Chains A and B, each alone.
Chain A
């Protein structure tokens, strides 16, 4: 069923109509005014006086005896010459097709410029130019040029005219030279009789009148419209001329002439084709004016079928609308199929646009206009309708849609149609208002719509009954004549301008109504989505079209209303927290995967597939949610191969980024914060009790203003996410299964550690392995952060409840969130109360918790806060200070066992990653990607591992500025292709975190872990790519740190530097950590039997970076640097050069670093030197050099 398509096209129509507020051009205005075919361009225009002289034709003196002059504007277009009286359009206007001009003569008069035109239809026009002579001359030249250009089409138009009854009428009465043998017939009326009694309608007299008019004022292609013309139309057109005059009035005559083959071509071209419109047409063919004899006959039905089908092809936007069958059937009585076809075209395009459209917006709008006009012109009636809740539009809609053809008896309805073709839609309003007016008294007695309908029904059936004339009580007239008088006299004020005003006023309301309905239908017809309510669907619907409309720019363009990937990206960015549109750092792999998966191979998504996709993804049941998530990756096989696991890991990192980056707090953090609040409050209660102040629970209120240490919470959360992401990858590879036919076992790196490294074989591309959906689920569920994420945060990250009007898709500012959070103090207070018991327990047990916390992170979160009193809450209360000073729990001591295992697992992860790298992944870019992944694994593991818990958290992570620095640095390395930037970026970013974390772990250089790391290095040492990795990573870290440290810092207290860590100066901690890292790595090399030369070249840059950092602050902190590094490395030699101080620093016989300090930094360098020398022994061999450039 095409219902959905239909809805879409409806929407399109709305868009089209609302978008078309463009002001029409002068050319277009002219075309509308004179009903010229589209595309006529104004060639020239002039102010003229038109002189119509009394004519003597065949010895017949015309009724007027004196010449009449009209002053107005003459306009020349490509094919037409038009004139309109500038005072009153109705007074006189003409349209002459240039081909009709037989002769053009200049009237020789001395005082002005005048021409005389003779048409082939014996019309004579004298035109006197009012403009200055040169302009008049130019106009004349333009006119003659146009005439010459068109001259060879004269025979064509003559042939065409021979099909017109007006020409036949004149020829038959010897008033025309155009020879026509047989009377042209067109409409069914010629065969099946015209409706009504011709004699009663004075048909003959009317014919005579028109005959006279044609002779006097021209016809069809050259016709003067003046008062007599309008009067004649108003009296009702004679049967045989009706068809031709309709097309003359509405201008479809020109179209039929210009496009003379189109109708038949359409029929031939579409022969045998099927369409929805044709189905609808077929249903109604037998039900169109069934009383008229022709439609009880195949001939009539076939004509109707052809016209309606042809038009449905001509204008597929409209297709077919019920009521068109009635209109077409009625027109066919007087017109040929082709005439009706073009008449329908003009009707739908110009006269009543939008009436028959998919949404019928035109006719709906006009009902509103009509109601408005009733209230304005017939206020008593309007009030009555309002009071009685009578919906006038119910009654009037059929009038407008079928021009009274199915409400009034046909003979009367055709009179309306006559006027409609000549005067346009105002006719419908005028007649409609007149009907209300003449039935006013009866209508005032009506109490509901039904009674009104009955009044009208009776009225329409009695239209030919006589009653006293409204304007002259002595005369008897038919009700219809009275109605006619009222309509076109009394309501003559309702002109196009008034209607345009009312339309403009009601437009928005009507479109809005249609939009709502279309939306409701569309939303209702969406498939069942258990996870999305109707309101949420409606929000998605709004957002969907909002994005599409914005993307398609103007609504005029036939935008296909399906969503391509670009729009999908924007849509998701608005809807989902993690899908931010940042093209620099954006990782759209996941979005692409969603898109491809939902679109099922198509290029575009439609609303239905989109909604289904979202519905699957936001399943609240974590098991379903995970199954649906994994279904994105397994291609239906239930298995996810190595490569895809890597992508999956990337995607997980991507979708958790708002939490990892600290833009949002997840459920765990929120709970931790609440617990924290609870704890504080309990503590406060305790104090109050100790002071003898009793409290009750009602007094436990969340303070109005609480300062959070956002930074701290953010960092903790970041660490959790980083840990989880690396943990995920580790476990994914650990639990990966091999394909049934396993390859030879992997190289054993070390007998002792085979056990440890075995699981990493999964990373060997030579052994294809996979994980299953259930493995995936297991891994996620095993990880508390990810489990909680999928349980609580992932589906919440789809803001399906947000309306489009609300600020779309911007990740809520964290502070904003806090504000919201706290604004809802009551909620928090309740939470607090709920948690009070738990919190009490936590406080009680916090001393013992440190050892077991590895497996209970929630508790960890709570105990994290113990050391840092001002991280949370400055309660606005007299007691706040006292409260904040209360120590809660004792700081935990690091547990060596924990750190040991953490380090080990880190090492094995890093090893695994590098190992995979080592096993020949092909291209460089791929390598780089993997490098970074490996780096990330290492880094995140390092940063987030539980081994560090209990230590003071890293106070601040490197900010974005630093990361940008990294990116800039990376760009300088030519090996990296552009595509790797992003990946590399995030890899490095994480390594920086690692560096920071490392700073907290001075003791991390113990035997076994170090050994594991060494083995890793030994495995990769000869590989250049790896070296590159190390270099890149280190260098970029250096740059990042450098950029950060270049800001002036307070002088670091030297005395405290010996610890290598100070919570007071996080930057220092970072740096120290990095230096320790470097030192550590180098010291590890010592124990390896690697040719140090292998390391030299590749590593130099990394050392330089590290040293540069040191240098940048060496003036004040050199000694700190030195003492830090000396603990992990030994300085071998120092040389002093003339240009400054050069430090040759050998590390355990394998590496020497030469440090050049600028002379300007002599003091600091010396300090540095002395302190480093004091703590190191000098070893001679120099294998690696590094130039240390002083930045200061």
Chain B
């Protein structure tokens, strides 16, 4: 039996770190070299089966430029999950990611599931050997992991271009989402709110990924 729940997921992060590309990879398994910057936000959906449950991701892909940060609350409102994305070759984007995590913890839903994602892993990789090239990276895995541990986040390094870890991020989020928190997909979301007091039973929700 498969239960379908929908999960509102928001992507946050500095401009040009690859938020839209991650979504495009996840939703269409596609990659565009020069993707137009997102103005305001883009909305996409994707279904994903994790164990016995099917999750419909309602993905809000937000604009990265600093001044659009004003608008972010519109998008992460009621979000159950967030991807905070940075570019592993751009240290400033990591600082920005830190800010976003703080903002989410302060302002978003209480039990929002956040994944920290260091994108553009492909830039580190030698196309011939597939090994990581020394010195290309600006944000170490340890730094990312440390922030994730500190703030209780999922952590991945991805490449939207090579599809590395992209599905894994979403799957991991899907597993983390407490079943009760996710709104049933076929019920009108009249309130759009999540019952934060509902008991969470995480162990039961996690199954094996069949994504």
* A residues lining the B interface (CB < 8 Å): 1, 3, 6, 10, 280, 283-284, 286-290, 321-323, 325-326, 357-360, 364, 387-389, 391, 393-394, 397-398, 401-402, 406, 447-450, 453-454, 514, 517-518, 520-521, 524-525
Given A393-B74, A524-B99, A402-B43 contact (CB < 8 Å): no
Q: List 10 A-B contacts (CB under 8 A).
A: A3-B99, A284-B15, A287-B16, A289-B36, A290-B34, A322-B38, A387-B190, A397-B41, A406-B39, A525-B99
Min C-beta distance of A535 to chain B, whole Å = 12
- Taking a contact as CB atoms under 8 Å apart, the answer to whether B190 and A322 are in contact is no
Report Cα–Cα, A61/B57, bound state, in Å.
Answer: 66
- Taking a contact as CB atoms under 8 Å apart, the answer to whether A397 and B15 are in contact is no
Q: State which of B34, B66, B77, B188 has its C-beta within 8 Å of the C-beta of A287.
A: B34
Report Cα–Cα, A388/B77, bound state, in Å.
Answer: 14
- Taking a contact as CB atoms under 8 Å apart, the answer to whether B92 and A283 are in contact is no
Residue B63 interfacial (CB < 8 Å): yes
Of the stretches B100-108, B129-137, B169-177, B194-202, the one at the interface is B100-108
Q: State which of B16, B69, B191 has its C-beta within 8 Å of the C-beta of A389.
A: B191
Encoded as 1 (CB less than 8 Å from any A CB) or 0, chain B from 95 to 125 comes to 1000100110011000000000000000000
Q: State which of B43, B66, B106, B107 has its C-beta within 8 Å of the C-beta of A449.
A: B43
- Taking a contact as CB atoms under 8 Å apart, the answer to whether B192 and A389 are in contact is yes
Report Cα–Cα, A453/B58, bound state, in Å.
Answer: 12
Given A389-B190, A524-B103, A290-B36 contact (CB < 8 Å): yes
Given A283-B15, A389-B190, A450-B43, A520-B71 contact (CB < 8 Å): no
Report Cα–Cα, A514/B191, bound state, in Å.
Answer: 25
Residue B152 interfacial (CB < 8 Å): no
Report Cα–Cα, A289/B16, bound state, in Å.
Answer: 16
Min C-beta distance of A305 to chain B, whole Å = 14
- Taking a contact as CB atoms under 8 Å apart, the answer to whether B40 and A453 are in contact is no
Min C-beta distance of A398 to chain B, whole Å = 4
Please provide the 4 A-B residue pairs with the shortest distance between their CB atoms, ordered closest to farther: A397-B40, A283-B16, A398-B39, A286-B34
Encoded as 1 (CB less than 8 Å from any A CB) or 0, chain B from 67 to 96 comes to 111110111010000000000000010010
- Taking a contact as CB atoms under 8 Å apart, the answer to whether A391 and B74 are in contact is yes
Report Cα–Cα, A388/B191, bound state, in Å.
Answer: 7
Residue B2 interfacial (CB < 8 Å): no
Given A322-B68, A389-B190, A517-B70, A453-B34 contact (CB < 8 Å): no
- Taking a contact as CB atoms under 8 Å apart, the answer to whether B15 and A322 are in contact is yes
With CB as the reference atom, state the residue of chain B lying closest to A447: B188
Residue B189 interfacial (CB < 8 Å): yes
Residue B184 interfacial (CB < 8 Å): no
- 9 A-B pairs besides A288-B36, A322-B38, A450-B43 with CB distance below 8 A are A284-B16, A326-B36, A391-B74, A394-B43, A394-B74, A454-B43, A517-B73, A521-B103, A524-B106
With CB as the reference atom, state the residue of chain A lying closest to B45: A450
Report Cα–Cα, A448/B65, bound state, in Å.
Answer: 26
Min C-beta distance of A1102 to chain B, whole Å = 66
Residues of B contacting A325 in the complex (Cβ-Cβ under 8 angstroms) = 37
Q: Which of B36, B43, B64, B103 has the most CB of A within 10 A?
A: B36
- Taking a contact as CB atoms under 8 Å apart, the answer to whether B70 and A448 are in contact is no
Residue B35 interfacial (CB < 8 Å): yes
Residues of A contacting B192 in the complex (Cβ-Cβ under 8 angstroms) = 389, 448
Report Cα–Cα, A391/B189, bound state, in Å.
Answer: 13
- Taking a contact as CB atoms under 8 Å apart, the answer to whether B99 and A389 are in contact is no
- Taking a contact as CB atoms under 8 Å apart, the answer to whether A287 and B39 are in contact is no
Report Cα–Cα, A33/B203, bound state, in Å.
Answer: 67
Min C-beta distance of A369 to chain B, whole Å = 16
- Taking a contact as CB atoms under 8 Å apart, the answer to whether A321 and B65 are in contact is yes
- Taking a contact as CB atoms under 8 Å apart, the answer to whether B70 and A364 are in contact is yes
Q: State which of B33, B43, B67 has its C-beta within 8 Å of the C-beta of A358.
A: B67
How many interface contacts (CB-CB < 8 Å) are there between A and B? Answer: 110
- Taking a contact as CB atoms under 8 Å apart, the answer to whether B190 and A520 are in contact is no
Min C-beta distance of B64 to chain A, whole Å = 8
Q: State which of A1, A393, A453 has its C-beta within 8 Å of the C-beta of B95.
A: A1
- Taking a contact as CB atoms under 8 Å apart, the answer to whether A359 and B70 are in contact is yes
Given A280-B15, A397-B40, A398-B39, A322-B65 contact (CB < 8 Å): yes
Residues of B contacting A3 in the complex (Cβ-Cβ under 8 angstroms) = 66, 95, 99
Q: Which of B32, B33, B37, B63 has the most CB of A within 10 A?
A: B37
Report Cα–Cα, A448/B35, bound state, in Å.
Answer: 26
Given A358-B67, A394-B74, A448-B58, A402-B39 contact (CB < 8 Å): yes
Min C-beta distance of A511 to chain B, whole Å = 11
Encoded as 1 (CB less than 8 Å from any A CB) or 0, chain B from 34 to 61 comes to 1111111101010000000000001000
Residues of A contacting B69 in the complex (Cβ-Cβ under 8 angstroms) = 517, 521
Residues of A contacting B188 in the complex (Cβ-Cβ under 8 angstroms) = 388, 447
- Taking a contact as CB atoms under 8 Å apart, the answer to whether A524 and B102 are in contact is yes
Encoded as 1 (CB less than 8 Å from any A CB) or 0, chain B from 154 to 198 comes to 000000000000000000000000000000000011111000000
- Taking a contact as CB atoms under 8 Å apart, the answer to whether B43 and A360 are in contact is no
Residues of B contacting A387 in the complex (Cβ-Cβ under 8 angstroms) = 190
Residues of A contacting B66 in the complex (Cβ-Cβ under 8 angstroms) = 3, 6
With CB as the reference atom, state the residue of chain B lying closest to A449: B43
With CB as the reference atom, state the residue of chain A lying closest to B91: A1
Given A1-B92, A406-B39, A388-B190 contact (CB < 8 Å): yes
Report Cα–Cα, A393/B71, bound state, in Å.
Answer: 10
- Taking a contact as CB atoms under 8 Å apart, the answer to whether B45 and A394 are in contact is no
Report Cα–Cα, A322/B38, bound state, in Å.
Answer: 8
- Taking a contact as CB atoms under 8 Å apart, the answer to whether B65 and A280 are in contact is yes
Given A364-B70, A514-B70, A524-B103, A284-B39 contact (CB < 8 Å): no
Residues of B contacting A280 in the complex (Cβ-Cβ under 8 angstroms) = 15, 65
Given A389-B189, A389-B191, A322-B63 contact (CB < 8 Å): yes
Given A280-B65, A322-B65, A520-B106 contact (CB < 8 Å): yes
- Taking a contact as CB atoms under 8 Å apart, the answer to whether A360 and B45 are in contact is no
- Taking a contact as CB atoms under 8 Å apart, the answer to whether A360 and B68 are in contact is yes
Min C-beta distance of B161 to chain A, whole Å = 14
Report Cα–Cα, A978/B63, bound state, in Å.
Answer: 61
- Taking a contact as CB atoms under 8 Å apart, the answer to whether B106 and A447 are in contact is no
- Taking a contact as CB atoms under 8 Å apart, the answer to whether A323 and B39 are in contact is yes
With CB as the reference atom, state the residue of chain B lying closest to A285: B34
- Taking a contact as CB atoms under 8 Å apart, the answer to whether B58 and A450 are in contact is yes
Report Cα–Cα, A345/B95, bound state, in Å.
Answer: 33
Residues of B contacting A447 in the complex (Cβ-Cβ under 8 angstroms) = 188-189
- Taking a contact as CB atoms under 8 Å apart, the answer to whether B67 and A326 are in contact is no
With CB as the reference atom, state the residue of chain A lying closest to B59: A450
Min C-beta distance of A1015 to chain B, whole Å = 67
Min C-beta distance of B87 to chain A, whole Å = 10
Report Cα–Cα, A521/B17, bound state, in Å.
Answer: 21
With CB as the reference atom, state the residue of chain B lying closest to A323: B39
- Taking a contact as CB atoms under 8 Å apart, the answer to whether A394 and B189 are in contact is no
With CB as the reference atom, state the residue of chain A lying closest to B56: A450
- Taking a contact as CB atoms under 8 Å apart, the answer to whether B40 and A394 are in contact is yes
Report Cα–Cα, A393/B70, bound state, in Å.
Answer: 13
Report Cα–Cα, A232/B54, bound state, in Å.
Answer: 54
Residues of B contacting A10 in the complex (Cβ-Cβ under 8 angstroms) = 67
Min C-beta distance of A58 to chain B, whole Å = 48
Report Cα–Cα, A1/B93, bound state, in Å.
Answer: 10
Report Cα–Cα, A6/B68, bound state, in Å.
Answer: 12
Min C-beta distance of A321 to chain B, whole Å = 6
Residues of A contacting B95 in the complex (Cβ-Cβ under 8 angstroms) = 1, 3
- Taking a contact as CB atoms under 8 Å apart, the answer to whether A453 and B43 are in contact is yes
- Taking a contact as CB atoms under 8 Å apart, the answer to whether A322 and B70 are in contact is no
- Taking a contact as CB atoms under 8 Å apart, the answer to whether A448 and B99 are in contact is no
Residues of A contacting B38 in the complex (Cβ-Cβ under 8 angstroms) = 322
Min C-beta distance of B129 to chain A, whole Å = 28
Q: State which of B36, B67, B77, B107 has its C-beta within 8 Å of the C-beta of A406.
A: B36
With CB as the reference atom, state the residue of chain A lying closest to B70: A517
- Taking a contact as CB atoms under 8 Å apart, the answer to whether A287 and B35 are in contact is yes
Report Cα–Cα, A288/B37, bound state, in Å.
Answer: 8
Min C-beta distance of B147 to chain A, whole Å = 15
Q: State which of B67, B68, B75 has its C-beta within 8 Å of the C-beta of A394.
A: B75
- Taking a contact as CB atoms under 8 Å apart, the answer to whether B71 and A364 are in contact is yes
Min C-beta distance of B11 to chain A, whole Å = 14
Residues of A contacting B63 in the complex (Cβ-Cβ under 8 angstroms) = 322
Report Cα–Cα, A290/B32, bound state, in Å.
Answer: 10
